[in-house]
Amino acid sequence: MTNPASGSSGTNSSGDNAPLRAILVGVGAMGRGWLRNLQAADDVELVGVADLDVTAAKTALDEAGLSGVPVAGTLEELVDETAADFVVDVTIPEAHHAVTMQALRRGLPVLGEKPLAATLSEALDLVAAAQVYDRLFMVSQSRRYNPQLFAFRRMIRQLGGLGILVAEFFKAPHFGGFRDAMDHPLVLDMAIHTFDSVRFLTGAEPVAVYCDEYNPAWSWYAGDAATTAIFEMNDGSRFVYTGSWCSEGLETSWNSAWRASGEHGTTLWDGDGPPTLEIVEGRATAPVSDTGEVDPLDGIAGSLRDFVQALRSGRPPMGEARDNLMSLAMVHAAIASAGSRQRVLVADVLAQAHAEALARVDDAAVGDVLRSWTTLTPPS
Ligand SMILES: NC(=O)c1ccc[n+]([C@@H]2O[C@H](COP(=O)([O-])OP(=O)(O)OC[C@H]3O[C@@H](n4cnc5c(N)ncnc54)[C@H](O)[C@@H]3O)[C@@H](O)[C@H]2O)c1
């Protein structure tokens, strides 16, 4: 029996070295960053832009000096006209399922912004669809593409066994827009980055979580903007996250401020500069080799390069949707725990999402794939 964390890579290849043709869907705040990112990439050509707000999309293109690029209100209107090779989905989370499903059904690989989908059951649906339509679906977890994060991972590996990993996140952004109305703005929209980084840093998978979410009295968010969560990982370590999105003064990095404590010592990373390491005297471990690691570039430039290389080579990228599912499962397990005020097993949250996806699926082939998944969590 298969599960969503295994199976074929579902990649596509252009077969030559011509630039890959991209359609960008969603040109809001982050979409404008993606516009510049696609524009700057040598091996990508922007061939269409779709946004519900066509006027805003045209303005964004004019400002970027790309007035000749076709614009439409929906992805569907551009697919035939543009002969695109892939789609970049930078719409709001609630639109990720519809946009990605449409692209996959039209045979187009998708590089989507985080979160994978607005709900875990929608995420399972999309992972199954990527398998059915045999197209790469990658989530851009842009904060993985950071040379300092890679350096921090190397230091964690020198600690021997890992005991506890702590991440602190304190910022006070005034976004306006969809985040201000979300029930779980911090955990769903931001902590997904930190939770995903934990899986990258440790190689461990989440087993259970106890989480408390709340909204400080002075918060400008409708939903809970502050959270503390304790995760049990399948290597026996604990990950503790504490953060607030309405915390003014002495703010941390957007990447969080980190401490890892292990068998032989401790490593710290402030999220921006180089990490530091202290190994206890007499227990120095051999330095971990850099061999095999490429410069991850920075942010969305790194995720775009990873995606394009994956399309050309068939090698799975970081953030491949089946893998990213476990990062999103951490988010939804934390939300479930905060709601029930109980310790929650990640496997239970995935099983419930699986049942919801099966109850709702309207594509027989996607349903068959979903039914074939009898194991939804990696081995502990
Ligand atoms: N990786 C990061 O660091 C990072 C940072 C910011 C935002 N994001 C993510 O990027 C995504 C977009 O965030 P944002 O801040 O740009 O939001 P936004 O509200 O500023 O922009 C979203 C855009 O998508 C368009 N849109 C919505 N539904 C659509 C649909 N069905 N078809 C076409 N267009 C549609 C809207 O008209 C809007 O222009 C979110 O998933 C967010 O979590 C990631």
Q: Are residues 196 and 125 in the same domain?
A: no
Report how far ligand 1's centroid is from the alpha carbon of 65 (Å): 21
**What gap in Å lies between CA 9 and CA 138, rounded to an integer?**
11
Q: Are residues 65 and 52 in the same domain?
A: yes
pLDDT tens digits for range 334-371? 999 999 999 999 999 999 999 999 999 999 999 999 99
Q: Are residues 139 and 166 in the same domain?
A: no
Q: Kindly state if the Cβ of 51 falls inside 6 Å of ligand 1.
A: yes
13 is a domain residue: no
Q: Are residues 163 and 272 in the same domain?
A: yes
Report how far ligand 1's centroid is from the alpha carbon of 150 (Å): 27
- Closest atom, ligand 1, to C-alpha of 26: 24
Q: Are residues 209 and 111 in the same domain?
A: no
Domain count, the chain: 2
Q: Kindly state if the Cβ of 112 falls inside 6 Å of ligand 1.
A: no
pLDDT band at 17 (very low <50, low <70, confident <90, very high): confident
Q: Are residues 100 and 136 in the same domain?
A: yes
The CATH number assigned to the domain holding 267 equals 3.30.360.10
- Looking at residue 8, what is its pLDDT? 37
Report how far ligand 1's centroid is from the alpha carbon of 91 (Å): 4
Q: Which residues, other chains included, contact 15 with Cβ-Cβ below 8 Å and sequence gap of 6+?
A: none
Tell me the CA distances in angstroms from 15 to 109, 126, 231, 280, one per residue in order.
Answer: 15, 26, 43, 52
Q: Which domain holds residue 183?
A: 146-279
pLDDT tens digits for range 183-199? 999 999 999 999 999 99
Q: Kindly state if the Cβ of 29 falls inside 6 Å of ligand 1.
A: yes
The residue whose CA is least distant from atom 7 of ligand 1 is: 30
The residue whose CA is least distant from atom 21 of ligand 1 is: 28
Q: Which residues, other chains included, contact 318 with Cβ-Cβ below 8 Å and sequence gap of 6+?
A: 141, 144, 145, 200, 303, 306
Q: Are residues 33 and 101 in the same domain?
A: yes
343 is a domain residue: no
The vertex-83 CA angle with 78 and 88, nearest 5°, equals 65
Sheet containing 86-89: which strands, arranged edge to edge?
Answer: 71-72, 44-50, 20-25, 86-89, 110-113, 137-140
The CATH number assigned to the domain holding 57 equals 3.40.50.720
309 is a domain residue: yes
10 is a domain residue: no
- Looking at residue 159, what is its pLDDT? 94
Where are the strands (E) in 202-335, listed by range?
Answer: 206-214, 226-233, 238-244, 257-262, 265-269, 276-279
Q: Kindly state if the Cβ of 89 falls inside 6 Å of ligand 1.
A: no
257 is a domain residue: yes
The residue whose CA is least distant from atom 4 of ligand 1 is: 30
Q: Are residues 260 and 164 in the same domain?
A: yes
Q: Are residues 232 and 264 in the same domain?
A: yes
* Token code pair at residue 349: 């949250």
Q: Are residues 202 and 139 in the same domain?
A: no
pLDDT tens digits for range 102-125? 999 999 999 999 999 999 999 999
Q: Are residues 70 and 163 in the same domain?
A: no
342 is a domain residue: no
Q: Are residues 103 and 137 in the same domain?
A: yes
Helix or strand (DSSP H, E) at 111: strand 110-113
pLDDT band at 226 (very low <50, low <70, confident <90, very high): very high
Which of helix, strand or coil describes residue 175?
coil
337 is a domain residue: no
Q: Kindly state if the Cβ of 265 falls inside 6 Å of ligand 1.
A: no
232 is a domain residue: yes
- Closest atom, ligand 1, to C-alpha of 30: 16
pLDDT tens digits for range 52-107? 999 999 999 999 999 999 999 999 999 999 999 999 999 999 999 999 999 999 99
279, 309, 331 — which closes off a domain?
Answer: 279
Report how far ligand 1's centroid is from the alpha carbon of 115 (Å): 11
- Helix axes 192-202 and 147-157, enclosed angle (nearest 10): 50
- Whether the per-residue pLDDT at 249 is higher than 60: the answer is yes
- Whether the per-residue pLDDT at 172 is higher than 70: the answer is yes
Q: Kindly state if the Cβ of 30 falls inside 6 Å of ligand 1.
A: yes
- Looking at residue 11, what is its pLDDT? 39
